[in-house]
Each structure stands twice: as structure tokens, then as C-alpha cells.
Amino acid sequence: MTASTQTQQQWYATIALPVPLRSLFDYSLPQTTTPDTRKQLAGCRVKVSFRSQTLIGIIINCHQTPSFDPNKIKPLDEILDKRATFPAELLKLCWWAANYYHHPIGETLYTALPQQLRQGKPGELTTTVWRLTVEGRGLPKDGLKRAPKQQEVLQHLLVHPHLRGDEIEARNISPTTLAAMIKKGLLEKDSTIEPPPTQAEVDNTLVLETPPNLSQEQQAAIDQLRYHQFKTYLLEGITGSGKTEIYLQAIARVLQAGQQALVLIPEIGLTPQTIKRFRQRFSCPIAELHSNVSESKRNQNWMAARDGRAQIVIGTRLAAFTPMKQLGIIIIDEEHDLSYKQQDGLRYSARDLSIYRASTLRIPVILGSATPSLESLHNAIHGRYHHLRLTKRAGSAKPPQINILDLRQKPLFAGLCDEAVKALADTLANGHQAIVFINRRGYAPTLLCHQCGWIAECRSCDAHMTLHRTPLHLHCHHCNAQQPAPRQCPSCHSTQLNPRGLGTEQTEQWLQQQFPQYPVIRIDRDTTQRKNALTETLEEVGKGEPCVLIGTQMLAKGHHLPKIALVVIVDCDQGLLSSDFRGSERLGQLIVQVAGRAGREDVPGRVLIQSHTPDHPLLECLMTKGYHRYARQLLSERQATGLPPFGFSALFRAESKRPENAIEFLQMVARTLSQIAPASRDIQYLGPIPARMEKLNERFRYQFQLKTSSRKVLQGILKKGVKQIDQHALTKRTRWSVDVDALEN
């Protein structure tokens, strides 16, 4: 055979590898691969050697035109999958994400993949089964009749290929029976690939509980939903208006049509309760994908969704990348939640990704929130999303009464003014529960020397250390550094070290002294680290005994706590004075979400907002006109300044131990981008400037921003720019990233 005919016959696979490089790699396929196998190779995992390591890669496609000298192309070591780990639809979604967020495709695919599949574990669900050995099959039909249970197993296996675990349980066959047969050499244990569900099994997805009669508003919203076509719905409904009920009924329709549903929920907090509601309603398999699910379970759930065995998938951000056999609807609950945007690696928005996904699958996507993001609201106002609104609480619950408490010149007790303390006392005396919301954990955000003004600062960051009392120590909330709290000032040796400012621990301690007869329960990251701690606490609170909950924004998430009659927001001034362009949006959402915890079902609710700037026009707008009008006002401010959703931006971040390296890198970025597209009215470049926290964890951080008036222009510049930047020698000295549609500016 001549060399040329050999290359003609040779097939290659283009492979994505988990390396921070934007290129793909060619490997030669074994000569034995048939045209039929090649057709099914895209999305399969392979083992290859790459720079003296063995890596697991993903086949993108097969071809006969190698991208470089065929003699230097290595053969791949092993094809790991019989069936694509990445079905075509998911592969397409990952390509879109890699292109849109300008992230290497190999790393993008790896982000989507559960850890065990990354490590090469089998890509098929297997079950343990019991089969007859050759000897067992040789037995006569009634060969074991003296041991009735063993005879039952034998009879079954003479007609069926194997016995599964669930069948053994259903037939009440004990492990000793099986062990006895194994010992006699009649039976053996094996594992087999689980077959996909039959149509009958799918049809069996019964609705377990009877859904409530819908309110007029709910019915109107349901009636407007269209299935089997792409449309984005913004379901804007106040807390407790019955949004979840709409999700459930929409999903029921989708299941009846033999399709699956994907439900995304925010990162922390509300997972257990939401999932419980879905499980109460539907009998079909529900796969969970979030941080409380073990790696092996995650792996199984992923495959169950891919193979159509799980009809509903509920998960956090990462679940947006679940392969689904027959996806019919996507639901994004609390769509405004910032946890939908990944903040490192592939900086994707699970919401935006899902909308793209729904468009390619031609299915509906529902974004639900009491406090929609300005982006979504803008799209709804302009008709790009279909706007559905629920303005009344479901059932008999009434909206809470909200008051602002003017803190100016008033004495404060662990952050609380007299009126707030009195309201707490009344609530408890009436047998009800209260929430005190403080968005800072620890005892005090600063430790200050009264003699010389020394402040405990983090050695690695531009940040004060937070003082914690339980147990006593100093803690940097940015780099996680911890150290003992000093007794003496390290600078002047004075012992007059005073905590300054307020954290959850301080108010907790004070309230415990004030109301010793009632439980005071703190809910923040420190008290909920243990798995299930939050769920257990919420279950306890759910019983309804009078108590005070103190917590950070973890409490603002959609917990259903029916006995909360009072919510006190200790300090709302920070958000109003924030320099971040999303500060006021977030504050409005937070206030409304926390307030939404008050007064559900039969207990009327009251909300007290403490402020030093009670006349702030934004606060007043929120109080008198509600979130929707407030958000519209913020939108007009954003329009005037060209901020998102009226402008589009990408943030380049760079960090290094030596500040000049990061700055030099970003100057190169600035030169590269402005050569591609000079600054104009529609294209702006800002920076390099120091990041909000310039020094974090021993590294100096800077940023450079590209702002445009159109998404297309932004993407065009990035497409050329990132490629050039990537090849520059300076990339070796700095950690850098590009963040498309960054949350900050």
C-alpha cells in the first residue's frame, strides 16, 4: 500500500480536551472503525495521550482531512462510550456557550460534565442483576422444589434472563436464598445496562395530589401558555401569588405529551422545599442536580435525564447543561437571582443559556419572579417576552403592611431601634414568629483600637477582618483567612479594642438576653455549613412555635414559613449608597423578597425597614408604588447612562502577584481591541482600572471594560480580539478572563 492511499483511508477524530486552549486536536481513529460507528462518535468520550499525560476528551467530529502533518498525528488510545455522552443537542448548546462567552470548548464541555464522567466512569446506568450459571440452567424445571424460595428464583430465571434488585424485593426473596444458590454454583451476580422506560411506564406519570382550583389570574396566565413552540414568558407575580402552582400545571401538560421538564432554582436555600412540592404532585422519577447531591448520584441523574428515564430535572445553575431526551419546557424560578451567573471559569448565565436552548428546541421557557431582573422586565415591556402577571396572593393570605422607621438620632440596641424591639416583643407575645434581617455575618465587620485607631486588616486583601465571637476569632470574608483575635492592640498595646459595626452574631446575642424565654435562631453561612442544617432548622421553625430568626440574605430566598408575622430589615442604607450599578436593583429585590416572608396563610404580616435616609426617593418609590414601578424608574436611569440592558459589556479581568504584570496585560488588551474597532460613540473602552478590591488573596487585580450599544458589535470585537490576546506572550504572566454580560462594571 502506498503512503497516499493509506492517508486516504485513514479517518481522524477532532477532539476537545480539558485544557485552557482554544484549539481542537486531531487523533487518528483505529482502522477498524466502521462508517456506522463513525456516525455515532460525535459526543463520545475518548482516552488520548497529550503532552505525556493521558486525558479524557470529547469527539467533536470525524473527518479525513487532518489539520497538520498526518505523520505526526497520534492514534487515540480508547473510545470510552458506545453512545454519545454529549447528545447532539447538548453539544450544540456547549458550542454556543463557548462562542458566546469566549471560553475554550474543551473546558466548556468539562464544565457541563459530572465529575465521574470526567474521570472516565461508565457512561451508562447499570443495575445489579442475578443470572443462572451454566450449571443452574442445566437443572430440571422443579430441581429445587425442596427449597421453595430457591425454586421460585429458578422458575423465574428459566423464563427470564435475569432478576433485578426491585424484583427480588417485590417477591420477598431474602439475601440468604440468593447466597445459598450462589454457593451451590447455580447463580451469579452481574451488572447490566438499564433499559430505557417503556411507553407504559412513561404514561404512568400520574398526578398524585389534586391541584387547587386556580384563581382567575392564575387561570388567565395558564391559558396564555403555548406548548411545542418557542416563547419566553416572564411570570411576574408577588410572593405567594401561586407562581409555583403555575409551573406545576404547565409541567403536567408537558409530561402528558410524553416530554420532560427542566426546572432551575437558585443556588442556596429553597431547594428542599421546592423539590418536596414537586414530589408531592408527581409520581414520575425526578432527578435532582445541585450541590447537596453526591457525585455518584449526580452522575446517575444526569444519565437518567439523558435517557428519558427521569421526567423532571430540578437543579441549580449547572443543571442548565443537563442532556434531556425529550425536553418540553424550561422553568427558571427566581429568575433575578444572581446565582444563575457563574463567576469563574465559564462565566455563563444559566438563564440566558436556557432561553437559547428553548429557542433551538422550539419549546416554552418560563422565567418566574416577584422581583424580575431589569433585563427581563425590559424584554417583557418591549414585547420580546410574553408578560404574565399575578398581583394577588393565592388563597386567603393578604399582602403585608410595610413601614419605614427613621433611625436618625435614635438610640440603637444591637442595631435595633425602640419601635422595632417593641414590635418584636408584641409578635412573640402573640405567639407568632419574626425575622430580623442583617446582611452581614459575624459579630462586627471591624475591630478598632480606641487609643491609636489601628484596625484589624487582612494581610492578603484590601479588607478589614470581621470579628466573630462564636468561636472568638478574626475572619477575612474575602480570602477566608482566619486568626486569633488579639487582646492587645498590636500597634500601641492598648487593651481598648472595640468592635465596630454590626453582624448577625451581635444582634443574636442581644436578642437572646432580651427575650430569654424564646428561641433566637441565627441563619447564616456559619450556622448552615453542615449538610441539611438549614433544612432541619427550617423544619423546626415550620412547626410554628414563637421564635426570632436572624439571618443574612439566605433568609430572603423563597422559604415558605407560614407563621412569620413580622420582618425587620435592620439596615437598608448600604444598597442605596452602593457604587455598583446593580446596587439599587438588588436592594429593591432584597427588600421585597424579605418582606414577602411576612404574613402567609392566616397570619397578617408587618414589615419594618430601618433607615438613616428614610426620604430617599428610591426607597419612597419602592414603598408607595411597589417593585414594578421602582424597577421601571431604575430602567429609565439605566437608559440615560447606557448601562445594561441598554448597553452591552464585557469585562476583562487580570490578576498577578506583581501589579505591573496585570496592568501591562490589560494595556495590551486595550491596544488589541482598539485596533480592531477604534473607540466611538457606540464603542467605549474603560481602563485598566483597579478592581473593586484591588488586592485579594495576595494578588493585585485590575479590569478593563468594553462597552457597546449593540450585542452584535460586542461579539464581533471579542471574536477577533480574544483570539489575538490569547496568542500574546503576556498571557503567560497573568491570570486573566473575559466576562461577557458581567454582573458588575
| Binding residues vs ligand ADP (CB under 6 A) | 212-215, 218, 237, 239-245, 394-395
Nearest to 264 by CA among 195, 353, 203: 353
Residue 738 CA, chain-centre distance (Å), reads 20
> Is residue 220 at the binding interface for Zn ion, with CB under 5 A as the rule?
no
Round to whole Å and give the CA distance between 613 and 19: 51
3-state DSSP: the chain helix, strand, coil percent, rounded to 5?
A: 35, 25, 40
* Least gap, CB of 735 to Zn ion (angstroms): 17
Q: 112 vs 221, which CB is nearer to ligand ADP? A: 221
CB of 392 to ligand ADP, least distance (A): 10
**CB-side exposure of 344: number of CA atoms within 13 Å?**
2
Residue placing its CB nearer to ligand ADP in the complex, 209 or 545 = 209
Cell digits of residue 361: 428546541
Among 105, 313, 448, 476, binds Zn ion (CB under 5 A): 476
The residue among 64 and 280 lying less far from ligand ADP, judged by its C-beta, is: 280
Q: Residue 599's binding partner, choosing from Zn ion, ligand ADP, none, with beta-carbon cut-off 5 to 8 A by kind?
A: none
Residue located via cell numbers 480606641: 450
Q: Does 494 bind Zn ion (CB under 5 A)?
A: yes
Half-sphere exposure of 295 (CA within 13 A, CB side): 8
Closest distance between Zn ion and the C-beta of residue 476, in Å? Answer: 3
Residue 395 binds: one of Zn ion, ligand ADP, none (C-beta under 5 to 8 A by kind)? ligand ADP
Question: Rounded CA gap, 583 and 601, in Å?
Answer: 32
Name which of 239 and 527 has its Cβ closer to ligand ADP. 239
Taking CB within 5 to 8 Å according to partner kind, which of Zn ion, ligand ADP, none is near residue 739?
none
- Between 397 and 691, whose beta carbon lies closer to ligand ADP? 397
Instruction: From the list Zn ion, ligand ADP, none, pick the one residue 260 interacts with, judged by a Cβ distance below 5 to 8 Å according to partner type.
Output: none
- Give the nearer residue to ligand ADP in terms of CB position, either 243 or 557: 243
- What is the closest distance, in whole angstroms, from the C-beta atom of residue 368 to ligand ADP in the complex? 7
341 vs 392 by CB, closer to ligand ADP = 392
Instruction: Say whether 58 sits in a helix, a strand or coil.
Output: strand
Nearer Cβ to ligand ADP, position 29 or 592?
A: 592
Cα 260 from Cα 364, distance rounded (Å):
12
Q: How far is CA 377 from CA 23, 156, 262, 630, 635, in A?
A: 38, 61, 22, 12, 9
CB of 560 to ligand ADP, least distance (A): 6
C-beta of residue 290 within 8 angstroms of C-beta of residue 319: yes
Residue position matching grid coordinates 408578560? 387
Q: Which of 179, 429, 452, 577 binds Zn ion (CB under 5 A)?
A: 452
Shortest CB 465 distance to Zn ion, Å: 8
Considering the complex, state which of residue 397 and residue 423 has its C-beta at the smaller distance from ligand ADP.
397
Q: Of 430-449, which residues contact Zn ion (CB under 5 A)?
A: 449
Which does residue 211 touch among Zn ion, ligand ADP, none (CB within 5 to 8 A, set by kind)? none
Contact 310, 344 (CB under 8 A): no
Choose among Zn ion, ligand ADP, none what residue 492 binds, the Cβ cut-off being 5 to 8 Å by kind: Zn ion
Residue 370 CB, nearest approach to ligand ADP (Å): 7
- State yes or no: residue 491 binds Zn ion (CB under 5 A): yes
Smallest distance, ligand ADP to C-beta of residue 244, A: 3
- Residue 476 or 669 having the CB closest to Zn ion: 476
Write the CA distances from 222 to 216, 253, 364, 385, integer angstroms: 10, 11, 12, 15
Amino acid present at 87: P
Q: Quick check: 151 binds Zn ion (CB under 5 A)?
A: no
Across 478-583, where does the E strand assignment appear? 482-483, 497-500, 520-523, 548-551, 564-569
Backbone angles phi, psi at 128, to 5 degrees: -80, 135
Question: Of Zn ion, ligand ADP, none, which one sits near residue 404, judging by CB under 5 to 8 A according to partner kind?
Answer: none
Is residue 68 packed enough to be buried (19+ CB in 10 Å), middle (13-18) or exposed (0-12)?
exposed
Give the CA diameter of the chain. 96
Based on the shown chain and the rule CB under 5 A, indicate whether residue 479 belongs to the binding site for Zn ion.
yes
Cell of 363: 419549546
In angstroms, the CA 692 to CA 699 distance is 13
Strand pairing of 53-63 and 12-16? antiparallel
CB of 626 to ligand ADP, least distance (A): 15
Instruction: Look at residues 271, 269, 222 and name the one whose alpha carbon lies nearest to residue 247.
Output: 222
Q: Which is nearer to Zn ion, 476 or 594 (CB)?
A: 476
Smallest distance, ligand ADP to C-beta of residue 538, A = 15
The residues that bridge with 461 in the sheet, in sequence order, are: none
Contact indicator for 336, 592 with CB cutoff of 8 Å = no
**Minimum Å distance from CB 742 to Zn ion?**
22
Assign 39 to helix, strand or coil. helix
> Least distance in Å: CB of 223 to Zn ion?
53
460 binds, among ligand ADP, Zn ion, none (CB under 5 to 8 A by kind): Zn ion
Question: Which one of Zn ion, ligand ADP, none interacts with residue 20, CB within 5 to 8 A by kind?
Answer: none
State the binding partner of 239 from Zn ion, ligand ADP, none, CB within 5 to 8 A by kind.
ligand ADP
491 binds, among Zn ion, ligand ADP, none (CB under 5 to 8 A by kind): Zn ion
Query: Could you tell me which residues are beta bridge partners of residue 365?
Result: 232, 330
- Could you say which of Zn ion, ligand ADP, none residue 241 binds, taking C-beta under 5 to 8 angstroms by partner kind? ligand ADP
d(CA 334, CA 143): 63
Smallest distance from Zn ion to CB 640, Å: 37
Supply angle C-alpha 216, 219, 224, rounded to 5.
Answer: 130
Interaction site with Zn ion (CB under 5 A): 449, 451-452, 454, 458, 460-461, 476, 478-479, 481, 489, 491-492, 494
